[in-house]
Structure 1
Amino acid sequence: TTAVIRERFGGALNPASFTAASIIIVPVTTDNLTKATTGVLAAPLTLGTDFSAGLGQEALVGNTILEIKPLHPLLPSTCLSGGMFLGPNCATGTGYLVFLMNGITDASGNPAVPDTDYASIKAALPTCAAISDATLHSICQLTGAHMLIAQGLGLNPAHIVLSFSFTTESTVDTLALISATATAQTITVHPTGLTTAAIPGLGLKGHADLYVGVLNVPYYSSKTAPLTDYWHAPPFPLDTTSTFVTRF
């Protein structure tokens, strides 16, 4: 977990309003196909222990940006079970659901309000039938799942000005898949007749012998793609043309 979470508002914010009641982050289970939040995994994170909240640092506009920073690694969304990589059989993931409440205020003490799209989404719930735009309709359905979780936590949906979910990538899955599919390779080594004392500049005593050898290891990426392309993920149901793995 290395990235901060940033949300921009329409005016200067009052950082004193960034409290545990106005910024709520809940560990949740997710549907790996639709990315919908499906249930509560654990108690909400603790402000000041699990995450901090403050203003952005940019000149001129920083005071309009809420910046949420994880204070320790968050739970990754993994497809490992009993040490085995589930691959396409991995139907459920883990993530975090964020609720921003109207307890967040501007510098004049006015409570935050939803933007036009989010207000339209909330007004269209629970059926979302009033929304004709396909993308916004799909987001409305995802937001409906957010509201069900909010009610289960005792939150009033009328006080929510924004909700969204995110997941933390798991590097262990990649290593497990490589371990399961890699073929053992031989290494051929030859003695040099030298010891570690021959390594210049280190002043070693020579208690170990030096060998040289060659080991062939597979290369899992294109040699040239990193120069001209991005990391890609499988197509997402909301937009099957969007496969870039970026913060956006």
Structure 2
Amino acid sequence: MTTDITNKCFVTISGSWAQDRSLPKQGRFCVAKRETGHYEQVVVEGEEISAFIPLPLPPSPSLKMDGALSGQLRKAEEALIRLDLAGAMVPSLDWFVYAFVRKEAVLTSQIEGTQATLINLLVFEAENKTTPNADVEEVCNYLDAAIYARSQIAKDKGLPLSMHLLNETHRRLMQGTRGASKQPGAIRRSQNWIGGSRPTAIRAVGTLIEAGILVETTGKKRDRSFAYQAYIDQLRIGTELGRR
């Protein structure tokens, strides 16, 4: 293993090396370039796809906290101490956590295509409505799941950090939403599919969008709809702003 923290940093493990370029040269440290799994070609609905198979845990070679990596860990611990001190100066830590958790709930839900905003969530809570719309309901589920998990860990006789706790938290997260029928509270047994229903369909839609033939109409990241651009253009005739 060869290291030079001021200029370059090489780690030789099974012929691989990596460098943390996100830090200034003085702060870079060595990280092993690990292979976390491999791809296997499988056939789904008559089409061949690449399925990622992760390596079992714990990782091999094991992570060694020494040298520059140990120094970075110490800096991270010092940052947590400063954060703890800053938290002690907040007038109401409960209100701080209240706002922060809700912001995180909205941002995380948006990854799944949810359109609710922080204002939508706060308005719903302020008006105390009994039935939120679907997007706000997903964010509310996130909050319920987070509160449940934190309360269980805080209790003397609550659930520890375990698969049981994760499953119960996931059950609350998926309750009543579009994922309610997809084994809430259970470990999925099938490969997670990213990108759409079929590989050929996704490639075809992408090609049609690039050619200007199709246009996405929902603005969402999931459950999207596409329309024929020529029809959209025809429907817009006579509806332009400023037209008399």
TM-score by length of 1: 0.23
Structure with the bigger percentage of helix: 2
Structure with the bigger percentage of strand: 1
TM-score by length of 2: 0.23
